[in-house]
Amino acid sequence: MKYLITLIALIPCFLFSQETRTVTKKYIIPKDVETYNVECNETYEVLASNKKIKHGYYDRYISSTNVLIIEGYYKNNQKDSLWSYYHRLGKLIAEGRYKEAKRVGIWNFYNPSGNKLEQSFDYDSRRVLSYRVDEYDKKRLFKVYTDTGEVTVKPDCPPLFIGGSTALRLLLEAHDDPSQYTLRGMVIVTYDIDVDGKTSNFDILKGLNEASNETALRLAHLLSDNWIPCIYKGKPIKCRQEFTMTFLPSQLRF
């Protein structure tokens, strides 16, 4: 038993045992959450025999604050083993494992305001193990599609974005530049989420102008196929979801 424990402890060493060299880079991320032109320090290992292949420990810090925002491991240029992601203020927002660059096993997603666990998701079984929803979603009614037609109900569980609200916000804010907007108003996009979590039938429920409508539709499409379906009467059911985007001068809110 003693030898078995020793061998298990040495597995990470064998995994990344090829000769490597350390690389340190400083570069600019065009946009981070609520921050523009973020300068970061990136440190990682590469194979001594091929400097283009990352292999070993990886981390990324915000240069100005020395706050760690990403850490993990690469194996033959693919994400592997445990990875952790942090908010720009240093609080943990996601943690889990990769295998051959794909998320595997149980991932935990946290709300950075208080480090509360918001969602636990098993990528192997594609199941949500635990989740939190805000008070609004607890009371919210959804249009669902039954064999007899469309009805409005309070579901057992609303549709859930994989990774929770923080992951959703990170995704959206990374793909838009609110400093470009001067028009004030709101756009509401609606779309269907089927029993497999696939999205379709995007439409504008409430528009603002052509440019704003196109922006809202483009961002809503980023959320495609990353949902756990609505649950009603103990079973997945196709439902209609709303995505609201508020335009304010130099600010964009979801």
Return the CATH number of the domain spanning residue range 134-254.
Answer: 3.30.1150
Q: What is the pLDDT of residue 250?
A: 55
The type of residue at 53 is I
Work out the average pLDDT over 25-43: 71
Work out the average pLDDT over 176-188: 76
> Is the model's pLDDT at 230 over the cut of 70?
yes
Give span(s): CATH 2.20.110, the chain: 15-132
- Residues 93-133 have pLDDT tens digits of 999 999 999 999 999 999 877 678 999 999 999 999 999 88
Q: What is the pLDDT of residue 6?
A: 46
Q: What is the pLDDT of residue 2?
A: 46
- Residues 139-167 have pLDDT tens digits of 899 999 999 899 999 999 999 999 998 88
Q: How confident is the model at residue 249 (pLDDT cuts 50, 70, 90)?
A: low
pTM over 0.85: no
Work out the average pLDDT over 35-63: 89
Q: Which CATH architecture has domain 15-132?
A: Single Sheet (2.20)
